[in-house]
Amino acid sequence: MAEASVSKIALVTGGGTGIGRVIALALLKNAYTVVISGRRPDVLQRAANQLSAETGGAAHAFAADVGDPQAVSALFSTIRRDFGRLDLLVNNAGMGLPAVPMEDITFEQWNAIVSANLTGAFLCTQQAMKLMKAQTPRGGRIINNGSNSASTPRPMSAPYTATKHAIAGLTKSTALDGRLFDIACGQIDIGNASTDMTAKMSGGVLQANGEIAPEPTIPANLVADAVIYMAGLPLDANVLTMTVMATQMPYVGRG
């Protein structure tokens, strides 16, 4: 088989629902073979079947908790065995909490968010770096879902905001450490893309001044389009950070 006809391999964590599913769909439409991971096998397999049927592409499901080192190791071992390489990792898996005063957040809640949002991205990045360094041709790309909270918090969001600020540091460290090995790493910060998670925003969200106000959203496919642009660059070019947001959402100054 000629090299030009070989499909690129992508992994999208949290790929069974929400933004992850939309990104997976866009990658399939752009001739990637896509592995989606998530914690719920039934949801994940149903999504893979639907994505494959919709696009005629190859979507593969692998259930894994990205906060579990053994599960992440098994996920990447399967990718290495089945495909021999990984061209693109999209660290999308994550979770949050409803608005909760900082003093009322439990240790268990804190740990769960750190595990899903930060530890999971680190573990997947670590395994991707190992594979991308060793494969031929060498290199690949990692795109982290940072969220607008990577730079500006919402009220009562300490665990989520802390992890997303940390993702910004992980992105820069990965971009730096990957330079010598043709591994590019960038971050996309998303503001109110329309998914099940953001559906409540039309009904009102807590603002910095204590008011509850509705917020505008954008179609999730616009985020996927941005990911496709970032992924399509040659490995000697990189989008380090990109913000895609509803123009009128309260973000700059959160007001």
Q: Assign residue 27 the CATH number of its domain.
A: 3.40.50.720
Residue 156's Cβ-count burial label (10 Å; 0-12, 13-18, 19+) is middle
Using DSSP, state whether 182 is helix, strand or coil.
Answer: coil
C-alpha closest to that of 205 among 156, 150, 148:
156
Identify the active-site residue in 32, 160, 229, 251.
Answer: 160
CB 182 within 8 A of CB 189: no
- The DSSP code sequence of 56-115 is SS-EEEEE--TT-HHHHHHHHHHHHHHHS--SEEEE------SS--GGG--HHHHHHHHI
Domain of 192 in residue numbering reads as 3-254
160 as an active site residue: the answer is yes
The pLDDT tens digits along the chain (255 residues) read: 334 447 899 999 999 999 999 999 999 999 999 999 999 999 999 999 999 999 999 999 999 999 999 999 999 999 999 999 999 999 999 998 888 899 999 999 999 999 999 999 999 999 999 999 999 999 999 999 999 889 888 888 999 999 999 999 999 999 999 999 999 999 999 988 877 666 677 678 888 888 888 788 889 999 999 999 999 999 999 999 999 998 888 887 666
Number of structural domains found in the chain: 1
CA distance 154 to 166: 16
* Cβ neighbours for 182, distance < 8 A, ≥ 6 positions apart: 132, 137, 138, 139, 140, 235, 236
Residue 198 C-beta-side C-alpha neighbours within 13 Å: 20
Q: Widest CA span of the chain, in angstroms?
A: 61
Q: How far is CA 114 from the centre of its chain?
A: 15
Q: One-letter amino acid identity for 58?
A: A
**The model's pTM:** 0.93
